[in-house]
Amino acid sequence: MALPHTFDYDLIVIGSGAGGSAAATIAAREGKRVAIVEADTFGGESPNWSDVPTKALLHAARLYDEARHGSKFGLRTSTLGYNYPSIRAWKTLAVQRTGAGGNQRFYENQGVNTFHATAHFLTPNEISVNRRHLSAKDFIIATGAEWVIPKIPGLANTPFLTPRTILEAIRPPKSLFIIGGGSHGVEIAQLMATFGTKVYIAEQSSRLLPDQDQEVGQLIERVLSEQKGVTVLTHSRVLSVGKDAISKRIIINRGGVEQTIKAEEILIAAGRTPRVDLGLENATVKYTPKGIEVNDMLQTSAKHIYAAGDVLGRGSYTHTALLESQIAVHNILHKNKVIPDYTATPGIIFSTPEIAYVGLSEDDCTKRDMAINKALAPLNIITRSNTSDFRDGFVKIITDKKGVLVGATVAAPNAGEIIHELALAVKYGLTADQVAATPHAFLSWSEAVRVAASKLA
């Protein structure tokens, strides 16, 4: 009688970010032998060089900006300044406080074996790690994604920044040319412009934030250009870059016209690509450069290997990667397989005003030939906009023909908090009538939700 095959581990998780962390700790608590392999910094992108440090810097920038414009409220702010090394120190403290960045010891305390190395599949059940071979019964791949470096002539010989490396800058650059007008590009444009950088932001599409509703891109373009002095270059393609004595030279084509721009630094924020270079063919895992292919239960073509997070190529959020991590490990540990429910997953862009969205956008509905009704309530029609002197924003609600909410966008201070009411409405099929009939506290920004919903009631 053949002996059952023995493996070094029950589960090996490749990647310690949001897509891997929950799975590793859950399996360890269930008494499984677990290892986690991380090629970069433990904790992954979100706590180390993305969400947490960026939002800590943006919080400081917002405070500085509000204080700088405080004279209209009777505040004396003429001597206001900032110390960028101290702001960086605050960012570092915020990262440390979360405890999720550089958290190798956390896993070890959970009974998870950690390996700081690049994993490479040798066979469907075996990987190489630091010249060692490790085997496991099951795997979860959560290697995330990395910034795409576009094929622009001259870029290979020209130093440039990414949304990760700019966080370590000793000071804001005097001028910055950003390639990519998505959420990362917009957040960094606003951050650096607030601290005095002359910012150019180039986007090939007809508007910034092209994945959002048209009103969002138009609003952010207006705010960036009119209030922050940012030069917004939509319909723009970068033809080449080069390095002069003290600056970088960028040649762009905008609407058929070539122009040259000089800036101290260039920042690449033109999209991300999944990290799939780990010998997946040796594990019989199907993938493309756009990501690993999985079924509804996050199972790859190799039934004992699951994948979660940005490596799937869906451009997901940190909270989505965390959900997928929990689902993947559940499906490994239990016979009753479950499917992640992505309905009403909100997203946030930490600009000023904040942009938060949930459900289908108007473009999504158009692509699906959905008959919809929509309503938009500008912030300036609610009283809070007067007491806070903030008028740039709106609430937009989309319903189907029966009045059921299918999507919403909020552009307002604290939009990330406001959106959850609309996420509940989308998730549980509430009508605009029901949202409008719900009492909303006077002098809250959320009154704009009631106004928008009442237009559709």
Give the CATH number of the domain where residue 304 resides.
Answer: 3.50.50.60
Render pLDDT for 158-196 as a digit per residue (tens, 0 to 9).
999 999 999 999 999 999 999 999 999 999 999 999 999
Average pLDDT, the chain: 96
Condensed to tens digits (0 to 9), the pLDDT of residues 93-129 reads 999 999 888 899 999 999 999 999 999 999 999 999 9
Interacting residues of 70 by C-beta distance below 8 A, sequence separation 6+: 77
pTM to 2 decimal places: 0.95
> How does residue 245 score in pLDDT terms, banded at 50, 70 and 90?
confident
pLDDT at 100: 86
What tens digit of pLDDT does each residue of 347-360 get?
A: 999 999 999 999 99
Q: Is residue 357 part of a domain?
A: yes
136 and 204 both lie in a single domain: no
Cα(420)–Cα(348) distance, rounded to whole angstroms?
11
- Residue pair 203/210 in contact (Cβ under 8 Å)? The answer is yes
Helices (H), 99-182: 104-109
Residue 181 lies in a domain: yes
- Is residue 27's pLDDT more than 90? yes
Same domain, 372 and 328: no
Number of domains comprising the chain: 3
| Domain finish residue from 333, 360, 379 | 333
Residue 2 has pLDDT above 60, yes or no: no
Whether residues 18 and 142 share a domain: the answer is: yes
Q: Specify if 69 maps to a domain.
A: no
Q: Are residues 241 and 303 in the same domain?
A: no
Q: For residue 235, what are the domain limits?
A: 155-270
Measure the CA–CA gap between 56 and 166, rounded to whole angstroms: 14
- 390 and 361 within one domain: yes
Instruction: Compute the distance between CA of residue 356 and CA of residue 349 in angstroms, rounded to an integer.
Output: 6
79 in any annotated domain: no
Residues 318 and 213 in one domain: no
Q: What is the mean pLDDT of residues 270-290?
A: 97
Supply the CATH number for residue 450's domain. 3.30.390.30
If asked whether residues 396 and 323 sit together in one domain, one would say no
Note whether residue 364 is domain-resident: yes
In tens, the pLDDT along 31-74 reads: 999 999 999 999 999 999 999 999 999 999 999 999 999 999 99
Same domain, yes or no: 374 and 437: yes
Strand partners, 378: 394
Q: How many CA atoms lie within 13 A of 208 on its CB side?
A: 31
Are 206 and 353 contained in the same domain? no
Q: Residue 3: pLDDT above 70?
A: no
Query: What angle (nearest 5°) sits at the alpha carbon of residue 316, between those of residues 428 and 272?
Result: 160
- Shared-domain flag, residues 368 and 277: no
Is residue 27 domain-shared with residue 121, that is, in the same domain? yes
Predicted pLDDT at 101 = 87
72 assigned to some structural domain: no
Rg from Cα positions in the chain? 24
96, two tokens = 């440390």
Distance of CA 295 to the CA centre of its chain: 23
Tokens of 360: 């289908």
Tokens 């806070």 — which residue? Answer: 388
Q: Where among 247, 270, 293 does a domain terminate?
A: 270
Q: Specify the DSSP class assigned to residue 4.
A: P
**At which of 237, 270, 303 does a domain end?**
270
Per-residue pLDDT reduced to its tens digit, 394-410: 999 999 999 999 999 99
Q: Would you say 436 and 449 are in contact if contact means Cβ atoms under 8 Å apart?
A: no
Does 299 lie in the same domain as 195? no
The torsion defined by the Cα of 326, 299, 332 and 277, in degrees rounded to 10, comes to -80
Do the domain assignments include residue 61? Answer: no
On whether residue 338 sits in a domain, the answer given is no
